[in-house]
Structure 1
Amino acid sequence: MPNAKQGMRLDLRTLILVLCALTALVMLCASYFASYRVQRQLLIDHALEANRVYAAKLAAITETYIRNALQQLAFSAGVQRQQLADSAALRAETDRVLGQSMAFNSTFVIDANGVLLSVSPAHLRHLVGGRMQSPGVEEALHERRPLVSTPYVSAANNLVVTLSQPIFGADGRYLGYVAGSLYLHERNILNSLLGEHFYKDGSYLYVVDSQRRLLYHPNPQRVGTVVQSNSLINQLGTLRNGTRQLSNSQGVEMLAGFATVPSAGWGVVAQQPLTRTLTPLGDLILNVVGTSAPLALVGFLLLWWLALIIAQPLWQLAAGARTMDSPETAEHLRRVPAWYFEAAELKRALLFGLNLLQERIGRLNRDAQTDPLTGLVNRRGLEFSLALLQAEGRSFSAIVLDIDHFKRVNDNHGHEVGDQVLRRLAELMRSCCREGDLLCRTGGEEFLMLLPGAGLEVAANVAERLRLTVQDTPVEPVGAVTVSLGVARWDAKGGNEPADALGAADRALYQAKQQGRNRVVHA
């Protein structure tokens, strides 16, 4: 019988130890999973935004190139209209346009009947005098306006895109056009602009036209082919820029940022394989495990000791139960620590561990909703606050603002000084707002203030006070900067959405910009 009781006592203690160990393991696994999910989303968001910014920058560079090239051709068209009958002068002018920059692979002049009057470089001059019947020529003759053609096969059997300017006589009569071409399968300015990829993290670029035809791709064999299956390319005609997580035409899951070239209708897409983006995640999780493992070991030893303490009163109570007939049993039981006290201590320890986990998850959530540069709320936090205000039925006023001519600050002083200006503006916003107002950074130099319960007049006064404060507060080494502000109000009983008020404030900000900047306009 004693052996059986001894075995029961050991089994109970083992059960408590296993329970404690499983509890600690579950908390650790939950902590690791939360860390993994948050870090994974942060990596994806960062990659998407980096690709979007990079695509937008290259789209802007390509747009600048096209405008400059068309301007060169417009000047040449003015020269050529005076000398269409002089073949030597035509040849000299086409040579000049080709040689003055790397903008084109060839330049040429075609009259109103489609006859080639002049061409450079020299090895193509055997085509002079012939009538050109390619799709690009017919498109330019038909449109009679500055034009970026769709890709076509030229008379010299090259896959080309041409940029052209019409030639009109002094009497307004159409005389033909002057054009420059890019050979898509040879070295061209588009390769030079896009070929050297800034990021070395597996990202790559491609450019498509409005007909889904690839104009540039890291794989030269794909240039000129039509992309058949890609959900992003299907929508490039209706979207100016943005981000998308998708599977490309090869079935690989990608994180893509995109932008369009307005004058040509081209789409620039920068994308990176999802697997490459998440490669650092393994090291991050290992670091978390390495940091928490010693603490977990200490915690396990502590739980083991607590399990012994919990089992000891049960053993003493069992010993007292075996000697119920002894006079000393009552006193002995009174000296046994109360079972519920020990249970409460265990519960408190577990709740303490749970609180630590919740605090850690809460800290990660706060970090995910905070702009790291200014300390203000980011877009994710803004969306949460708007949803909360709408659910509570609380009206608010919104102030949308951005820094006037902020690009000059970055261009003249560098991005580090630009970041200093953004941080200083955030401080001034805090000094001008009320307790309980929400301050948010929504974009590069774009900010938002939510004033719960404030009327339009109060919000306008706050906006004016902030405008004057920013205007009168120099930021070294930039000096004084100014902001333009738009104010609108959302009435919880009005039946519209909070996003409508933000849109109205955006439009008011746009009016402030149009009216000269450094002013407040309210909807």
Structure 2
Amino acid sequence: MALSASIVTFLNSFYSSYQVQKQQLQAETLKSQSAYAAKLASATDLFLQSTQQQLAYSAKIIAKNFDNKAIFNQEAERLKRQTDSFNSTVVVLANGVVKGISPKSLQLAGKKLQSDGALQALSFKEPMISEPYISAANNLIIFISHPLFATDGRYLGYVGGSIYLKHANILHDLLQVHFHKDGSYLYVVDKSRRLLYHPDTSRIGEQVYNNAVIEAVLKYKSGTKQLINSHNVVMLAGYASLKAAPWGIITQRSLEATLEPLDGLMINVLYRTLPIGLATLLFIWLLARLIAHPLRDLAQTANALDNPNAPQRLKIIKSWYFESSELRKAMLKGVGVFQNQIGVLRQEAQTDPLTGLHNRRSLDGFLEQLTTTETSFAVLAIDIDFFKRVNDEYGHDIGDLVLQSLAKIILDVTRSTDFVTRTGGEEFNVISPNATASSAYVLAERLRIQVSETYIDPVGYINVSVGIAGWPLKQLSIDDIFKLADQALYKAKRTGRNRSILDSQYQDAEIKKPD
């Protein structure tokens, strides 16, 4: 037993340590991914706001010098080269014709644009960030634009910049700079669930469905989640939404990569603790054997206490430590002491420790006596009304005090021949031998009224509901009688509580309920 307990304790400690470390690693990783996503969302927001500010500034310059035809290409070139925010820039008139473009190699000058982003910019006439689409130059892009207005409010066109999603650009650089080297990676989605950025560039432009994290981030939520990705790998993800565009950033790391250091750590711990663990087990085995020797001798002697030589055999046993010596002294006090202790234990086994009333085991014995002698009896099923409120408002210690007070009231009201039990929680039973239906009802009402009129500090007044049934009744079993009493109790609960209900099959024609 000592060896088994030691091994189990060692294994349990090792397993518990592993689980605790695992949970901490997962929690820390989720927290890190959430902070990582929030940081990137903030940085991307700043980038998009910066591009819109650049376009707004250029729009003012172009609108102010609209009659200067050279201004279109000058501003397009400046926007393209000043910060590298865009892969290409364009100035378009209100009729959709390109008047300025950079780089010129796109060969779109003088042409009328029909792409989704161009049509949206002409239609909205306000600052906008488009959804991804295929451009006139056959690139998958997002288009950021700002309208041009004359001083009299007349719409002149727009200035815009394109970000090529599958080409190198400042947005890619921004996201890749923060790429973690611990197995974490990130991707960006728009409101159409289309990937705007992904480490695997072949997936950019792909639409992703049935992903709980994407669904959450597109509802402008931020947080963490454990999920299974499209490759059936368990991932720990953090996500955050942008403010400048309806995009979401998701960062994630595989659970396997997260726990990989822990596996190595636990193996290292096992190797280091195994030698001392084996030495400890050997020591326990030797010590347990030494301790068990006098106990084994005492046990063998205990099997022959009726032998006249038993006292002499007890005296020669070498009880070298205090406990075995005291045990030997106790055995020498005789079988009478043991029998007395057994009686006390039997009494405790049949008593509810909180209230001092009989318990279920004692009740079963009493019912067996009544049925054996064919003595009729009534069953009162008693339950405190709204007892949960007492525990919730005052705590379980006060709840226990209420239960003890109720037990005392029941004992005061019932006869000495009645058998009072607590069967669990706030439920009590009274078995009243030789009681009729009417006398049982009178007893229940006397008990109910006494409870309702007794002040219990600090709770105040409580109420009970009582269900009544009796035996024998149409040759029903004891279990059936208790079920009938419980049903009557439930009826009392359903019809308002603080009342006594007599089972309909146990009605006594003589009973007259008080007003």
- Write the distance in 2 (CA, Å) between the matches of 1:119 and 1:244: 44
Tell me what 1:38 maps to.
Answer: 20
Pairing 1:215–2:199 present: no
- Write the distance in 1 (CA, Å) between the matches of 2:125 and 2:80: 22
1:125-150 CA-partner distances (Å, limit 9, x unpaired): x3222211111111111211111111
Pairing 1:83–2:65 present: yes
Give the alignment partner of residue 263 of structure 1, picking from 234, 244, 264.
244
Give the alignment partner of residue 164 of structure 1, picking from 145, 164, 167.
145
Max Rg structure: 2
Assess if the C-alpha contact under 8 Å between 1:229 and 1:249 holds in 2: no
C-alpha distance 329-260 of structure 1, shift in aligned 2 (>3 A):
closer
Superposition pairs for residues 86-485 of structure 1, below 5 Å?
86-124=68-106, 126-314=107-295, 316-317=297-298, 330-336=311-317, 337=319, 341-342=323-324, 393=393
Tell me what 1:28 maps to.
Answer: 10
The residue identity in structure 1 corresponding to 2:110 is G
Measured after TM superposition, the shift of residue 84 of structure 1 is 3.4
Measured after TM superposition, the shift of residue 291 of structure 1 is 4.5
Assess if the C-alpha contact under 8 Å between 1:107 and 1:119 holds in 2: yes
Tell me what 1:74 maps to.
Answer: 56
Instruction: Determine helix, strand or coil for the equivalent of 1:164.
Output: strand
C-alpha distance 248-315 of structure 1, shift in aligned 2 (>3 A):
closer
The residue identity in structure 1 corresponding to 2:46 is T
Tell me what 2:360 maps to.
Answer: none
C-alpha distance 249-319 of structure 1, shift in aligned 2 (>3 A):
closer
1:362-416 CA-partner distances (Å, limit 9, x unpaired): xxxxxxxxxxxxxxxxxxxxxxxxxxxx986589xxxxxxxxxxxxxxxxxxxxx
The residue identity in structure 2 corresponding to 1:239 is Y
Measured after TM superposition, the shift of residue 40 of structure 1 is 0.5
Measured after TM superposition, the shift of residue 229 of structure 1 is 3.0
Measured after TM superposition, the shift of residue 310 of structure 1 is 3.7
- Write the distance in 2 (CA, Å) between the matches of 1:78 and 1:306: 92
The residue identity in structure 1 corresponding to 2:118 is V
Measured after TM superposition, the shift of residue 86 of structure 1 is 3.4
Measured after TM superposition, the shift of residue 338 of structure 1 is 9.5
The residue identity in structure 2 corresponding to 1:151 is P
Measured after TM superposition, the shift of residue 89 of structure 1 is 2.1
Tell me what 1:375 maps to.
Answer: none
Pairing 1:63–2:48 present: no
Assess if the C-alpha contact under 8 Å between 2:295 and 2:324 holds in 1: no
C-alpha distance 323-131 of structure 1, shift in aligned 2 (>3 A):
closer
1:261-297 CA-partner distances (Å, limit 9, x unpaired): 1111111111011111110111222243244434423
Measured after TM superposition, the shift of residue 188 of structure 1 is 0.8
Instruction: Determine helix, strand or coil for the equivalent of 1:117.
Output: strand
Measured after TM superposition, the shift of residue 204 of structure 1 is 0.6
Measured after TM superposition, the shift of residue 305 of structure 1 is 2.2
Measured after TM superposition, the shift of residue 179 of structure 1 is 0.3
- Write the distance in 1 (CA, Å) between the matches of 2:283 and 2:316: 25
Aligned length: 332
- Write the distance in 2 (CA, Å) between the matches of 1:236 and 1:275: 24
Assess if the C-alpha contact under 8 Å between 1:55 and 1:269 holds in 2: yes
The residue identity in structure 1 corresponding to 2:203 is R
Measured after TM superposition, the shift of residue 35 of structure 1 is 0.8
> How much identity, in percent, do the aligned residues show?
42
Measured after TM superposition, the shift of residue 212 of structure 1 is 0.8
Instruction: Determine helix, strand or coil for the equivalent of 1:226.
Output: coil
Instruction: Determine helix, strand or coil for the equivalent of 2:110.
Output: coil
The residue identity in structure 2 corresponding to 1:108 is V
1:463-498 CA-partner distances (Å, limit 9, x unpaired): xxxxxxxxxxxxxxxxxxxxxxxxxxxxxxxxxxxx
Moved more, 74-83 or 195-204: 195-204
1:213-245 CA-partner distances (Å, limit 9, x unpaired): 111111111111111331111221223321111
- Write the distance in 2 (CA, Å) between the matches of 1:38 and 1:237: 33
The residue identity in structure 2 corresponding to 1:45 is A
Assess if the C-alpha contact under 8 Å between 1:227 and 1:249 holds in 2: no
The residue identity in structure 1 corresponding to 2:260 is T
Instruction: Determine helix, strand or coil for the equivalent of 1:127.
Output: coil
1:32-74 CA-partner distances (Å, limit 9, x unpaired): 1111111111011111111111111111111111111111100
Measured after TM superposition, the shift of residue 326 of structure 1 is 11
Choose between structure 1 and 2 for higher RCO, CA contacts under 8 A separated by at least 6 residues. 1
Assess if the C-alpha contact under 8 Å between 1:229 and 1:248 holds in 2: no
Measured after TM superposition, the shift of residue 159 of structure 1 is 0.8
TM-score by length of 2: 0.59
Assess if the C-alpha contact under 8 Å between 2:165 and 2:196 holds in 1: yes
C-alpha distance 342-162 of structure 1, shift in aligned 2 (>3 A):
farther
Assess if the C-alpha contact under 8 Å between 1:150 and 1:209 holds in 2: yes
The residue identity in structure 2 corresponding to 1:92 is Q
Assess if the C-alpha contact under 8 Å between 1:21 and 1:303 holds in 2: yes
TM-score by length of 1: 0.59
The residue identity in structure 2 corresponding to 1:51 is Q
C-alpha distance 334-131 of structure 1, shift in aligned 2 (>3 A):
same
C-alpha distance 391-77 of structure 1, shift in aligned 2 (>3 A):
farther
Measured after TM superposition, the shift of residue 314 of structure 1 is 4.7
Assess if the C-alpha contact under 8 Å between 2:179 and 2:185 holds in 1: no
C-alpha distance 147-393 of structure 1, shift in aligned 2 (>3 A):
farther
C-alpha distance 200-322 of structure 1, shift in aligned 2 (>3 A):
closer
